[in-house]
Every structure is written in C-alpha cells, then in structure tokens.
C-alpha cells in the first residue's frame, strides 16, 4: 500500500496493489480526488477516521465510521488485501471501525462481498475506472439488484447491459458453467440482514481477481507463476445473447443458431417487419391471450437461462407442485421454476409480467414452466403427437425390417457392404492422391457419410456455422462426444476436386498449435467433406469487426493473437517439410479456440514449394479482396512475401478494428493501409488504435506493432521482412527498419503499365479479369 501515479498520469493516489505485480492496483482511496503534487499525508485520527491531507493540510479524502474508537485506533492492511481501521488489540471482524472491502473500486477480491447490507443500506459493488490512467469512477458497474429474487447485473450508468443472473443453489443462471471450479468456490448469502455474493480460494497459493474494465467488460484473471503474468480466465460478454434483453420479451436467444432470436412457442413477433430486418428489440406477443382460471396450463422449457427476476417472487419452502398451483391461481403470474435445483429441486420462483432476457444453453441450463392458453397447449400437443406417430411408424417399420434382416442373415452383408463402401472411399481418395503424386501424404481417417450426417443432424441449417469459398461448415457431435466442424463442398462452389486434394495434402501432416487440425475426410457418393477440430469461438473476423465482441479482445489478447498467427505462418514458410504459401490469409480464416488462441485454417488455395524454390506465377489469381499483395493481384506472382503482405493487413485490422476493404474516412478515400500510412508519416499513428482496446498499453508498444504491420505491406516484396524476422520483431526490442509506402496506397485508380493482364487496382478493392476472388 502506498502512493502511486497510474501510467503516465501526474496525479497521485493512495492505493493497494499486489507485491508480485506492482502495476496491478486493486483499490484506490481517493479515486475521485487526486493529489496534484508529491505531498500528502495519510493519518488515523483519535476517533478512528482514516484521513488523507494535501500540502495545505486540507482533507482530500476520509473514511466515514458509524462509531468512535475506544482504544488507540490503528490501520492495518490484511493479507486478503483488505485495509481495516480498528481498536488496537481488537480482532473481532464484527467490531471493525471501517474496512476497504465495504467500498470496492474496480476489483472484486476473494472474501470481498458483492451485495447489500439490508439493515444499514450499504451497497457494495465494483465500478470501472474512467481509463487506465484515471481511477475515477467510470460508467460501468457490477452490482447486486435486490428487486424480486436478487441477481447480479452489469450496468452502464442506470441501465442494465447484461445479467450474471440469480443463484439457484449451484450456479448463476446466466453462466451455466459456473457451478464448479477447482480454484475457487462461490458462497451466496441471503437473509433478513444482508444479501451478497463472495468467492473464496480453495488453494490459497493461487491469486485471482475480478475487474470491471473501463470498456464495461467484467474479467476474471488468474496469476500464472510459470509466465509471471495475469491470464484472462473468463469475461462477461461472449456473444450477443449475453447483452441484456437482446431478443426482447417472450423470445429466446441462442448464440449457436442463425438468426439467434426466436419467439417462444405460441408467441409471434410484435413487429414482424422489424423482426425480418433483424431488429428483435420489440420481442414477441402471445398468439392467444390468457383467460385467467379457464383452462390455462404450462409448457415446459429446458436448458434455459431463466428470465430477468426483478419482477419475481420466491419462497424457499414450497414444492414445485405447490408453485404451479400458486401460479395458476394468480392471473398476473406468467411462469414458474425451482428456486434451488440441488437434489430433486426445491422452492418456488414465480414471474409476473413480461419474460425478458431468456437464453438457450447447450448444457447447464434450467427448466422453466411458461403459462399458456388451453388452445395453444392443445395445438402444441397435436404437433408433438403427430411427430410421435411418425416416429412410432418409422420405429415399427424399422423393427419389421430388422426382424427380416435378422431372419435372412443380412446383417453380415450390411456390415460387409459398409466396410466395402469405406474401402472404396479410402481407395478413391488414395487413387486421387496417387494421380496427384500425393499418396504418401494420406494418413487420414475415412469417416462414413452416414456418421457425418448423424453428427450434423443431416446437415441441418441449425447446425450451420458459416460458409466460405469451399462450401458450408456445420457443427457436429460424434457418438463418442467429440465436437467437430464439418466442411462440405458446395455444388455451386468455385472450388472443387483440386482444392479438396490440395487441402488434404497440405494440412494432413502439418502439426502446429497455430494451425487448425484436420481429423478426417469423406468422399462417398460424390461428396467431398473435410472434418476438423471444432473452434468454439468461431473466427477472428467475428470479434474484431463487432462493436460488442471486440471488447473481449483487450490489448494483451490482440498481441497474443498477432504473435500466434505469425508463428503459424513461420511454421508454414520455414519449419514444415514443404514451404507452404497460404494465399488466402484473412480474418475469417483465423479460427479461435476456447482460450482465444488463433489457428490458421482453409488451405484449399494454398501452394507448396520444394527445395530452394522461392516464387511462382499463375494466370488463375485466387484469393480475397483487400488481403492480396500487389505483385500477386497484378502479375500473378506469389511467394512467402505474398503471405507476409496479407499478415500485415491483418495486423493493422486487429489493431484498428477496421476492415481494409470497405474502409472509409471523411477526410480522404484511402483504404486502411493508406490511412495508417498517412497517420504514420505525420506522427499520429496512435489514432489508428481501436477504442475498445482501452488504455492498457504503452505508446512505444503500439507504435512498434503498427510499424511491423506497415513493414509487411510495403509495395515491393523484397522490402518486406520474412516471417522469422517478423516473429523476432514481435518478441524482442530490436531496432526496426523505416517502412516505405504500402502497396495499394493510392486513392485513385492506378493502371500498371507493366502488367501483362492490363489490370487496374484501387485503394478499396481490386478489379482484375482473371480473378476468382471472394
């Protein structure tokens, strides 16, 4: 504990920080009233008041206590990080005169309470700093909302931005994975005197802290001794469904589906026109109004984040059956659920009025019973019965068929046939590869088409993750539980047999932590399917160009992603058996795993060099607008330096949060590369940085990364560094060369008179007759 000045600020504060990480301040006394010079005295008065005085002995900040000290008061900093004022030799925590844990700043520490003292009205919550250099109270806070069943909410000013939810005995309803953790455990206390949440460390040798950063993202960090640094463990905003009431009333939000919002059964969009234009804020309304006490019933939903509980009522002693009866009798009641889900469940939770902020989870959600009109329940029952009848018919037919097969002994034939199909598929793939001179590269699993169809629910649109040049990609789950990504060649795809073989050849034996892993393939019935490891955070493009999700990518995470991409490219260019040129490196082809580690994907357009070959040329120019190097776009020449150019574009996009292609600025018509170059040459490069990054970086660190990006996008390939140099530039403080003007810098259409293609290119896009670009 002591005086400090955050970052480059000249203001001085009294704060508490970790001994292992002196820059990690967890509490500030005078956060709104800084000292303006190097004088200042912190003292304890005879009454037990902690007071901060400035150079003129005026009180800058002081504590407020409800009682006066009896015996020589002292201030003591405890190992928990709690600063306490107490009577000397009195250790009873109930007799403290004052403690900092009652007045948190932006950090929630283990054993610190988040919640309210219902007797005194004391509200303990964490609130963001204004910026990384100004600890004054910012716009965002994480607090406990005591209305109805108390719940933890994320707020901006007086507006709820997101919900952690209420405690159901095992976890918070808004975070289904929060029920167990080997490092810490939650305790939620609710009685007549107070209601609060706290978490305690199971292993006291571990350090953990939860902060509300200046951008409004709640983040939990764990200290890692191996790296001597804080690593992000969890964050509050992962997808659109965690934005409060994203889909409006009486609708569910499912981040794994597109569109994410859907009305509950028996409800219709309140504003159909807005709903079709992807504005779901008005939510849904009942198709059939309720008629109180005349035939109303309940429809059961599972795997849900329970609705906002601010207008709810609860009782811990009632059973679920009693809960249903109460809701039926009350005309204003709209839904009910268990209060506590431990064991067989207990307690009663009722909702009154609209149901808002409901999310669907693939696991860990909760059951909710929603009141419905009798006619709606009958219609729903008919639909279910129709489905059951169909399934029963299918099952009966299948039983007869199986019986016949057993009688005729055809099971062995089926097995043999299946094995034959699998063998044919494998031989077909091997033959394809042999014709291409690639047979020695094939060591992949051949997966049955039926197994893939079952895993993806017959390639259901609900399982669709996205679509690229090769075709659609689906999420699937194999019988053993492994989650996979299935890339299926589209009949309308510009890519085909050659790209399929190419991807199999190049990625089958490439093993690197920053390359996506290919698990298997399928070539049955003219299908061409590739099976990859599943990446739960999808791709980089979905984060850096999204206003909400980009806040998850703080400065350190963006640096890690840039470094990971660089290492993956270095492996392709220099460390793998073949020198591989990706040729389509872009944000959508950088996938992110559970821990946000980047993995390069999509090798359908890649090419390999052998021996000392360093460059090649093609008349079939393929790739993506905005990422192509000038020599490739205009002359068809590609090399490792083509990928370096694409990497440089990625670096500038990651830093700025803006796309190179389609970038616009009110002062000029340059693309992102031209804009970055303009800022660089007038010493205003800091303006390039995405606002959502916050201020957790130094000027020198930012300028170094921008300089590396500009070095990679220089016009002439020979001026660009190779990836081994780039990795060194990113991981050390070596002196960097001065960058020259980037390629595709001009904001006018420029004809290259030396181009054999007579092609033209511009700042915001490329127009070449031989393109197959996307």
Looking at the annotation, which residues are catalytic?
Answer: 584
DSSP string, 467-511: E-SS-EEEEEE-TTS-EEEEEE--TT-S--HHHHHHHHHHHTT--
Residues 6 or more apart whose CB falls under 8 angstroms from that of 262 comprise 247, 251, 252, 254
Q: What's the distance, CA 184 to chain centroid?
A: 22
Q: Is 719 exposed, middle or buried (0-12, 13-18, 19+ CB in 10 A)?
A: middle
> To 10 degrees, the CA torsion angle through 432, 435, 439, 441?
-80
- With beta carbons less than 8 A apart as the criterion, state whether 531 and 518 touch: yes
Residue 499 dihedral angles phi and psi, to the nearest 5°: -70, -35
Of the candidates 475, 427, 423, 469, which has an alpha carbon nearest to the alpha carbon of residue 452? 475
Residue whose tokens read 């064991």:
343
Query: β-pairing, 123-124 with 208-212?
Result: unpaired
Rounded Cα–Cα distance for residues 553 and 656 (Å): 12
Instruction: Please give the biggest Cα pair distance in the chain.
Output: 103
- With beta carbons less than 8 A apart as the criterion, state whether 135 and 164 touch: no
Tokens standing for residue 471: 């075709």
Rounded Cα–Cα distance for residues 432 and 449 (Å): 18
Of the candidates 678, 671, 691, which has an alpha carbon nearest to the alpha carbon of residue 750? 671
Rounded Cα–Cα distance for residues 577 and 450 (Å): 34
DSSP string, 710-772: HHHTBSSGGGSPPHHHHHHHHHS-PPPPPP-PBTT--SS-EE-TT-TT--EE-SS-EE-TTEE
């Amino acid at each position: 504990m002591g005086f400090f000045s955050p970052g480059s600020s000249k203001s001085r504060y009294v704060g508490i920080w970790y001994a292992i990480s002196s820059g990690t301040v967890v509490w500030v006394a005078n956060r709104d009233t800084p000292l303006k010079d190097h004088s200042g005295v912190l003292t304890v008065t005879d009454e037990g008041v902690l007071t901060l005085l400035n150079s003129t002995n005026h009180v800058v900040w002081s504590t407020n206590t409800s009682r006066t000290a009896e015996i020589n008061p002292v201030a003591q900093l405890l190992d928990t990080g709690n600063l306490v004022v107490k009577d000397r030799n009195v250790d009873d925590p109930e007799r403290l005169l004052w403690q900092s844990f009652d007045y948190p700043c932006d950090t929630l520490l283990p054993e610190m309470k988040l919640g309210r003292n219902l007797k005194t009205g004391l509200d303990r919550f964490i609130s963001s700093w204004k910026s990384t250099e100004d600890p004054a109270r910012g716009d965002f806070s994480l607090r406990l909302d005591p209305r109805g069943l108390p719940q933890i909410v994320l707020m901006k000013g007086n507006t709820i931005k997101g919900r952690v939810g209420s405690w159901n005995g095992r976890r918070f309803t808004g975070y289904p994975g929060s029920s167990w953790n080997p490092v810490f455990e939650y305790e939620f206390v609710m009685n007549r005197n107070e209601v609060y949440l706290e978490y305690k460390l199971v292993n006291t040798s571990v350090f953990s802290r939860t902060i509300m950063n200046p951008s409004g993202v709640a983040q939990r960090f764990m200290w890692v001794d191996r790296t001597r640094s804080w690593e992000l463990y969890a964050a509050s905003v992962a997808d659109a469904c965690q934005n409060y009431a994203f889909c409006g009333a009486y609708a569910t939000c499912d981040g794994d589906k597109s569109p994410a919002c859907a009305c509950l059964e028996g409800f219709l969009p309140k504003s159909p026109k807005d709903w079709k234009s992807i504005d779901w804020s008005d939510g849904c309304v009942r198709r059939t109004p309720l008629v109180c006490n005349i035939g109303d019933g309940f429809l059961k939903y599972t795997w849900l984040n329970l609705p906002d509980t601010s207008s709810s009522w609860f009782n811990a002693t009632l059973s679920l059956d009693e809960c249903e009866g109460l809701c039926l009798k009350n005309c204003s009641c709209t839904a009910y659920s268990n209060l506590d889900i431990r064991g067989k469940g207990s307690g009663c939770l009722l909702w009154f009025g609209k149901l808002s902020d409901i999310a669907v989870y693939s696991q860990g959600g909760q059951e909710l019973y929603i009141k419905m009109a009798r006619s709606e329940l009958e219609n729903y029952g008919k639909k279910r019965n129709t489905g059951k009848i169909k399934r029963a018919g299918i099952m009966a037919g299948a039983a007869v068929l199986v019986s016949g097969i057993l009688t005729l002994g055809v099971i062995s034939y089926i097995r043999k046939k299946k094995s034959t199909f699998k063998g044919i598929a494998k031989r077909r793939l091997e033959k394809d590869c042999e014709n291409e001179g690639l047979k020695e590269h094939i060591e992949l699993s051949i997966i049955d088409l039926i197994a893939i169809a079952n895993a993806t629910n017959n390639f259901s649109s609900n399982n669709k993750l996205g679509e690229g040049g090769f075709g659609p990609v689906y999420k699937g789950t194999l019988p053993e539980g492994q989650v996979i990504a299935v890339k299926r060649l589209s009949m309308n795809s510009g890519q085909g047999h050659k790209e399929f073989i190419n991807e199999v050849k190049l990625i089958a034996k490439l093993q690197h932590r920053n390359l996506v892993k290919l698990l298997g393939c399928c070539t049955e019935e003219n299908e061409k399917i590739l099976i990859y490891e599943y990446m739960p955070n999808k791709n980089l493009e979905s984060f850096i160009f999204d206003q909400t999700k980009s806040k998850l990518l703080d400065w350190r995470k963006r640096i890690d992603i840039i470094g990971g991409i660089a290492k993956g490219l270095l492996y392709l260019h220099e460390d793998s058996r073949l020198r591989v040129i990706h040729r389509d490196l872009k944000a959508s082809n950088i996938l992110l795993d559970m821990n946000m580690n980047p993995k390069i994907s999509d090798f359908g357009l890649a090419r390999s060099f052998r021996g000392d070959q360093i460059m090649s040329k093609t008349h079939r120019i393929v790739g993506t607008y905005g990422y192509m190097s000038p020599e490739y776009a205009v002359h068809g020449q590609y090399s490792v330096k083509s990928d370096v150019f694409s990497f440089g574009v990625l670096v500038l996009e990651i830093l700025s949060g803006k796309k190179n292609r389609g970038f616009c600025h009110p002062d000029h018509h340059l693309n992102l590369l031209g804009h970055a170059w303009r800022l660089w040459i007038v010493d205003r490069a800091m303006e390039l940085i995405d606002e959502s990054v916050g201020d957790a970086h130094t000027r020198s660190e930012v300028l170094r990364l921008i300089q590396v990006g500009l070095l990679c996008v220089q016009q002439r390939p020979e001026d660009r560094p190779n990836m081994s140099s780039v990795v060194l530039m990113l991981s050390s403080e070596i002196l960097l060369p001065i960058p020259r003007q980037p390629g595709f810098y001009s904001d006018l259409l420029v004809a290259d008179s030396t181009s054999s293609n007579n092609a033209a290119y511009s700042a915001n896009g490329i127009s070449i007759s031989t393109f197959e670009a996307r």
